[in-house]
């Protein structure tokens, strides 16, 4: 197994540190060789910076990639945005000689060079392909029995020709990872739809962006689930903090708990909710916390 280094990005360490802690606990428990990646910056966020100035986007992403290259470790991302930026940039810089030359011209100003020696991974596809659901099932100490609305998010699987993770219309791998924790993935209409946060929508056109999230939440509510599980802190923020904003803007109260996969897995591996920062989410649902407590005591 190639050694890894953890790319934190912005939203996880600076808004949802519980996800950072949960990820570190899970990786340690599964005995995965993954270090910190000191000196990393914003990936930079693809929807905004790639929209403003693609050479800058590529240069900053290129710098982050060289940090992993220096350590001779593949970069592990826990955010679809970071994955999108770094995997796309890595791909472009490896394949496109002209872009590599122009980007390395920028990087040479800070004494760095992109070499193209590592890969960029996302924790969901990494766990699925390199660890496997069987090994995860073996490691599970507390099968959770939760009814889960799985939210893939967009940039984990698309553009599909670059990601190579199979069907973008009806993928299964993330559902299988959720099921490996002893939970059930509940099908619901528009399951694959975007949360509305990307492309600078959440920052630039907040209300329209929330309308998209509200639509998703309404479908999830109808399906009747215990929680939503995502693979991206930006989707997480949109669906979690977004519920409070939606209540203000549209007067609708959903109160659906939202977990990142690292937090769901952390629970199944036996870590208490407080260690995983689940109590730090904006949505606080007492029934859900009771249910978690019961499932922990039952086991």
Partner 1 sequence: MDDWEQFISNRKYYITEKMIMKENNVQEQLKEAGIDILKCMQCGMCSGSCPSGRHTSLNVRRLIRHAIRSQDVLEDEELWMCTTCYNCQERCPRCIDIVDAILKIRSIAAHKGIILPEHKQVIKLLLEYGHAVPIDEANMKKREELGLERFPETVHKDIEALNEVKKLLNVCKLADIIDQ
Quick check: 14 binds partner 1 (CB under 8 A)?
Answer: yes
In the complex, the smallest distance separating the C-beta of residue 9 from partner 1, rounded to whole angstroms, is 8
278 near partner 1, rule: CB under 8 A: no
Q: Is 243 in the site for partner 1 (CB under 8 A)?
A: no
Q: Can residue 40 be called a binding residue for partner 1 (CB under 8 A)?
A: yes
Which ranges constitute the DSSP H helices of the chain?
11-15, 17-29, 51-52, 54-71, 80-95, 97-108, 123-126, 133-139, 160-163, 173-179, 201-204, 206-223, 233-250, 261-268, 286-298
Q: Which of 48, 259, 128 is nearest to 56 (CA)?
A: 48
Burial of 77 (0-12, 13-18, 19+ CB in 10 A): buried
Cα–Cα distance list, 236 to 108, 114, 250 (Å)? 36, 32, 19
Minimal CA–CA distance to 66: which of 12, 115, 17? 115
Strand 74-77 with 184-185, pairing: unpaired
Choice between 196 and 242, CB closer to partner 1: 196
Taking CB under 8 A as the rule, does residue 298 contact partner 1?
A: no
249 binds partner 1 (CB under 8 A): no
Q: How far is the CB of 18 from partner 1 (least distance, A)?
A: 6
User: Does position 44 bind partner 1 by CB under 8 A?
Assistant: yes
Annotate each residue in 47-76 with x if it binds partner 1 (CB under 8 A) or - if it does not, as one string.
xxxxxxxxxx--xx--x-------------
Residues that bind partner 1 (CB under 8 A): 8, 10-11, 13-15, 17-18, 20-21, 36-42, 44-56, 59-60, 63, 106-107, 109-110, 154-155, 158-160, 168, 190, 193-194, 196-201, 203-205, 208-209, 211-212, 215, 275, 277, 280
């Amino acid at each position: 197994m190639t050694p890894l280094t953890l790319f934190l990005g912005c939203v996880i360490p600076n808004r949802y540190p519980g996800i950072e802690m949960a990820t570190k606990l899970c990786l340690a428990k599964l005995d995965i060789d993954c270090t910190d990646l000191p000196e990393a910056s914003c990936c930079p966020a693809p929807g905004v910076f790639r929209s403003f100035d693609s050479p800058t986007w590529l240069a900053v992403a290129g710098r982050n990639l060289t940090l992993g290259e220096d350590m001779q470790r593949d970069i592990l991302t826990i955010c679809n945005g970071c994955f999108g930026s770094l995997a796309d940039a890595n791909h472009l810089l490896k394949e496109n000689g002209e872009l590599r030359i122009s980007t390395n011209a920028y990087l040479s100003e800070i004494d760095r060079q992109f070499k193209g020696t590592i890969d960029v991974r996302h924790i969901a596809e990494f766990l699925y392909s390199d660890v496997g659901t069987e090994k995860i099932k073996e490691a599970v100490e507390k099968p959770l029995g939760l009814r889960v609305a799985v939210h893939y998010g967009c940039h984990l699987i698309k553009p599909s020709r670059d990601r190579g993770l199979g069907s973008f219309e009806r993928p299964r791998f993330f559902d299988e990872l959720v099921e490996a924790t002893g939970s059930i993935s509940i099908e619901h209409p528009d399951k694959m739809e975007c949360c509305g946060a990307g492309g600078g929508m959440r920052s630039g056109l907040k209300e329209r962006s929330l309308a998209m999230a509200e639509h998703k939440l309404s479908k999830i509510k109808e399906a009747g689930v215990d929680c939503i599980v995502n693979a991206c802190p930006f989707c997480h923020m949109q669906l979690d903090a977004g519920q409070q904003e939606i209540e203000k803007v549209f007067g609708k109260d959903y109160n659906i708990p939202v977990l990142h996969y690292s937090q769901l897995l952390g629970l199944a591996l036996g870590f208490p909710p407080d260690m995983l920062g689940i109590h730090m989410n904006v949505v606080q649902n007492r029934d859900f916390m009771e249910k978690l407590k019961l499932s922990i005591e039952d086991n």
